[in-house]
Each structure stands twice: as structure tokens, then as C-alpha cells.
Structure 1
Amino acid sequence: MTLRRLVMIAGVVVLLAGAIALLMPVSVPGPDANIGCGNALVADLSEAREADSRNLANLPIVNEIVPHTDYVAECESALSSRRAWSIPVAVVGLVILAGSFFIGQRAARGSA
């Protein structure tokens, strides 16, 4: 197996890992079950907004007694952290894949 092929396979694997991470659903723990937030490409905060509206801490007096969990903010944070690492991974994979085409050309020129 040539160096070009190895680099190309590595680029494809890293690019696929980043793309899959962008498409995998993101969720945060909720009061009864996990709350879906969409994926890193398309955020869907409707379930988090619904969980926030059902929370007893939204009442003015109860807010001082019951700790309030802001599920929309937690979803936004989870989505942001997923984007923070998956986008660079996909870009690095794309750069490695593109670089594999230049490796093959250089090796062919050097041996001729």
C-alpha cells in the first residue's frame, strides 16, 4: 500500500468521524428522561423549551425554593461543545484527504 493511499484512507476516516459527530443527536439529562436538542447541524430546542415551561421553578414564589434548571441553555451548551470539536475534526479530515492528492504528484515528479 502506498503512502498516498494510507494518507487518503486516514483523511476519509477522520472526515467521516467529524461528519458522523455532526449528525448524531445531542441530548441533555432531563427531569424524567433525556431531552433531545437536535444535532450539531440543526438545533431543535422545542423539547427543551417545553421542559422549561413545565418546570415548577417558573412560578415566582417557588423559584426561590426550587432550583431552576434551564434546559434550553444546557442544550445550547451541549450543541456548542459538539460543534467545537466535530467541525475541526471534519476540516482536518478534509485537509488530509486533499493533501493525499498532492503527495502522489510529488512522489511521481521526484522519481521521474
Structure 2
Amino acid sequence: MNIRRLILIAGAAVLIAGVIALLVPVSITGNGNSISCGNAIAADTSEAEAANNQTVAGVPILNEIVPHTDYVAECQQAVSSRRSWSIPLAVVGLLIAAGALVVPRTRTVS
């Protein structure tokens, strides 16, 4: 196996890892249960919004501060974090694989 094919396989593996990371569901933990946030391609904050509506933080109480966890913000942060490393991983894999395909083969003269 030559070095060009080895680089192509490595680039394809990195690309596949990046695409899988984009497609794997993102979730956060809130109120003792898991809240789904969609995936890195399409964020879905509907469960986080429902979890926000279940807390008492929306009820006004005079002279008291009720701690409130914003599950929508946590979901957006988790999705953003996943995107911040999985998109560059997929792009680097694509560039490595494409570079291995574009580089011309060297022929030795015998």
C-alpha cells in the first residue's frame, strides 16, 4: 500500500468521524433527566422550552429570587460546542482526502 492511499484512507476516516459527530444527537441533563437538543446540523430546542415552562422561575414572587436554569441557552451552547469541533474535523478530513486524490501519481522510470 502506497503513502497516497494511506493518506486517502486517513482523510476519509477523519471526514466520516466529523460527519458522524454532526449527526449524533446532542442532549443536556436537567431536572435529573436528559433533554434532547437535536443534533449539530439541526438544533431542536422544543424539549428545552418545555422544560423551561415547567419550572417555577416564570412565576413572579415578591422579594424572592427563584434560581432558574435556562435549558434553551444550555442546549444552544451544547450544539454550538459540538459544531465548533465537528465541522472543522469534517473539513480537514475532506481536504486531506481531496488532496490525496488531486496529487498526481509519481511514476518511476526503470
Root-mean-square deviation over aligned CA pairs: 1.6
Give the aligned partner of residue 21 of structure 2: 21
Q: Which moved more, 1:3-12 or 1:64-73?
A: 64-73
- Counterparts of 1:52-71 in structure 2, within 5 Å, are 52-61=52-61, 64-71=64-71
Identity of aligned residues (%): 59
Question: How far does residue 99 in structure 1 lie from its aligned partner after superposition?
Answer: 0.7
- Which SS does the other structure have where 1:38 is aligned? coil
Q: Which moved more, 1:63-72 or 1:28-37?
A: 63-72
Question: How far does residue 102 in structure 1 lie from its aligned partner after superposition?
Answer: 2.8
Give the aligned partner of residue 50 of structure 1: 50
**Residues 29-79 of structure 1: CA distance to partner in whole angstroms, max 9, x if unpaired?**
110311000000011110000000011111111894331000000000000
Give the aligned partner of residue 97 of structure 1: 97
Separation in 2, partners of 1:83, 1:63 = 41
- 1:88 pairs with 2:92: no
- Counterparts of 1:32-47 in structure 2, within 5 Å, are 32-47=32-47
- Which SS does the other structure have where 2:38 is aligned? strand
TM-score with structure 2 setting the length: 0.92
Separation in 1, partners of 2:63, 2:80 = 27
Contact 1:48-1:71 within 8 A present in 2 as well: yes
Contact 1:27-1:78 within 8 A present in 2 as well: yes
Separation in 1, partners of 2:80, 2:63 = 27
**What stretches of structure 2 of length at least 5 have no aligned partner?**
none
Separation in 1, partners of 2:78, 2:34 = 13
